[in-house]
Structure 1
């Protein structure tokens, strides 16, 4: 097969053009354009022949010329809270992969804070770049409200389980079902025999944290069950560690919970460290279950039971929803364009409560 370098040398040290592809494949310039832009409109045999020549010549589309000709930038904007948080960063990577598979570049704009003013600035940067659409990967209450109020005249998708989601002609929502994930965690603990269960909740400014806390309260509002609520000041392991130290004595005394549902795996990891320091055994003295399934959770001692979120599927669903908006399709019935199911991952940090 001819390499891209060979093709450049064969064309007077210039990159191969669309005309070169058309001549080699024996088709028109318009047919090559259709293969690149609307391949579903080209007969399969012709499409395959043109694609083979594209590969042989090493042809690369001139994005600047394409943008001028179509009034589209072939760029998708991602508005995100930043890469310090596992859930959003995993979703951003998934959106980037899904965008590339559809032939888009990606421009990422990170929020400097959780305030709506920061969202306005970050969103403005993407709009000024002329992006073809924006996917918001910042599951924050204020950010979702601001994006909805902004009513931009470009396709928008918000990846968050916002209970107030209101899709419009240009705006869609996709999410992982946070209530279903909470049910998986809490019902697993109840099935093991736990009746006194605590939830270490995440930041209340996060939509996902609020959804998990509300569902925890609903699930525990049953005869024979006792719900305890501990609030972490952030999502990091250090915050779980602080909560663990604060409540270790009551667990040791038998007055505390026999199981804890942590709002994410990092908080669960911090709890394990604190309990180990204070002489509490997991899961013999207290069970712990997390959320997200970060890679390191499988390698703790004990390994941490958790709820896995399908971030790769979430990225794909966000791009599919954006494509629907671009095509002018009406919103699907309900609040969300796609609701994805999480998965329970059972490991060593949960067991039946020890009789006291």
Structure 2
């Protein structure tokens, strides 16, 4: 006899009512036991054992989605990020994943590659799949759904959203003060792509920090990453353009560690030593930064911590009453990690 009660019929999961009928018990009693409800403690142990045995016999599987929706939550979250690759977004995602798993949530992940249509389609999909909230990492959201939303390094503040951001001014000061403290005055810069949420605030912070240190930013010594490749190539080509400008520099501050690694390759191909001829400072402190040759001096963003904070804040928002005010911004301070890719500039030769 199958769960359908018909010989030869395909086996399918039984319902609570079918198990209750089989045992001669109420569906409410069966539900309490199989769902682990506190009220199940009042049911005698032998009866609980019979219910559990029947559930196994009839291949019972609880409808988790239906049960969670009855409680008001699906226990799922939508996550948006540009791409999954070494660097910023993946480290933030690791923190998001860890915190959500600890809270009993699972998530849908969408990589949008900076395509506005994919972002909007993903938001619609999340709503249709009854997610409880959204985490958006370095993602421009053209519209705000009614779902609780936490953003990480997103440029636009929207009502009801909480944005987790790095203290860019402090980050720039740490890097510029380190280089100027070593004696560097001719510093080149590699900016991020226009689509990156961090590009403009970080560049403004760098200009402020340079002015504060009495360092002039030479337009010829500023290059931008081009294209949307998450590889080392954009940094490599940006460094080549800086070298082709003909302006000399003794230090280079890059938009991120991935571009710094590409830039070091270009500097070496040009016959320059790092750090003896050009000191290089990165940004992010990705896992491979410490294992480069030389080890990369960098501004450390606590990326995993930022991801965990985003997920934890979202879970709190989901549980809070709708009228509970949400903070607009949570600011995280960076650290500075000194390794072997920076040193004082070489003394100038007398002519």
**TM-score above 0.5:** yes
Q: 1:223 and 1:191 mapped to 2: Cα distance?
A: 9
What is the aligned length?
297
Secondary structure in 2 aligned to 1:295?
coil
1:103 Cα deviation (Å)? 0.8
1:29 Cα deviation (Å)? 3.5
1:65 Cα deviation (Å)? 4.0
Q: Contact between 1:167 and 1:331, CA under 8 Å: does it hold in 2? A: no
Secondary structure in 2 aligned to 1:321?
helix
**Counterpart residue number, 2:207:** 217
- Structure 2, gaps ≥5 residues long: 1-18, 20-29, 43-60
Show CA shifts across 1:14-47 (max 9, x none). Answer: xx97516869xxx62399xxxxxxxxxxxxxxxx
Q: 2:250 and 2:257 mapped to 1: Cα distance?
A: 18
Q: 2:205 and 2:213 mapped to 1: Cα distance?
A: 16
1:322 aligns with 2:317: no
Secondary structure in 1 aligned to 2:189?
strand
Q: Between 71-80 and 323-332, report the one with greater CA deviation.
A: 323-332
Secondary structure in 2 aligned to 1:173?
strand
Q: 2:133 and 2:169 mapped to 1: Cα distance?
A: 29
**Counterpart residue number, 1:202:** 192
1:62 Cα deviation (Å)? 5.3
1:153 aligns with 2:143: no
**Counterpart residue number, 1:114:** 114
**Counterpart residue number, 1:88:** 89
**Counterpart residue number, 1:192:** 182
Match of 2:235 among 214, 218, 240: 240
- Structure 1, gaps ≥5 residues long: 1-10, 32-59
Q: 1:223 and 1:316 mapped to 2: Cα distance?
A: 34
Q: Contact between 2:76 and 2:132, CA under 8 Å: does it hold in 1? A: yes
Q: 1:321 and 1:166 mapped to 2: Cα distance?
A: 16
**Counterpart residue number, 1:127:** 127
Matches within 5 A, 1:254-333: 255-326=247-318, 327-328=320-321, 329-332=324-327
Match of 2:33 among 14, 19, 31: 19
Q: Contact between 1:76 and 1:105, CA under 8 Å: does it hold in 2? A: yes
Secondary structure in 2 aligned to 1:348?
coil
TM-score normalised by length of structure 2 = 0.76
Indicate how the Cα distance of structure 1 residues 250 and 178 shifts in structure 2: closer, same or farther if over 3 A, else same.
same
Q: 2:75 and 2:270 mapped to 1: Cα distance?
A: 55
Indicate how the Cα distance of structure 1 residues 110 and 18 shifts in structure 2: closer, same or farther if over 3 A, else same.
farther
Q: Contact between 1:248 and 1:280, CA under 8 Å: does it hold in 2? A: no
Secondary structure in 2 aligned to 1:199?
strand
**Counterpart residue number, 2:73:** 72
Secondary structure in 1 aligned to 2:288?
helix
Q: 1:267 and 1:305 mapped to 2: Cα distance?
A: 13
Q: Contact between 1:303 and 1:349, CA under 8 Å: does it hold in 2? A: yes
1:87 Cα deviation (Å)? 0.9
Higher normalized helix content (fraction of residues): 1
**Counterpart residue number, 1:343:** 335
Q: Contact between 2:86 and 2:286, CA under 8 Å: does it hold in 1? A: no
Secondary structure in 2 aligned to 1:210?
helix
**Counterpart residue number, 1:105:** 106
Aligned-pair RMSD on alpha carbons?
2.9
Q: 2:313 and 2:35 mapped to 1: Cα distance?
A: 33
Q: 2:118 and 2:278 mapped to 1: Cα distance?
A: 41
Secondary structure in 2 aligned to 1:239?
helix
Q: 2:124 and 2:35 mapped to 1: Cα distance?
A: 39
Secondary structure in 2 aligned to 1:236?
coil
1:330 Cα deviation (Å)? 1.0
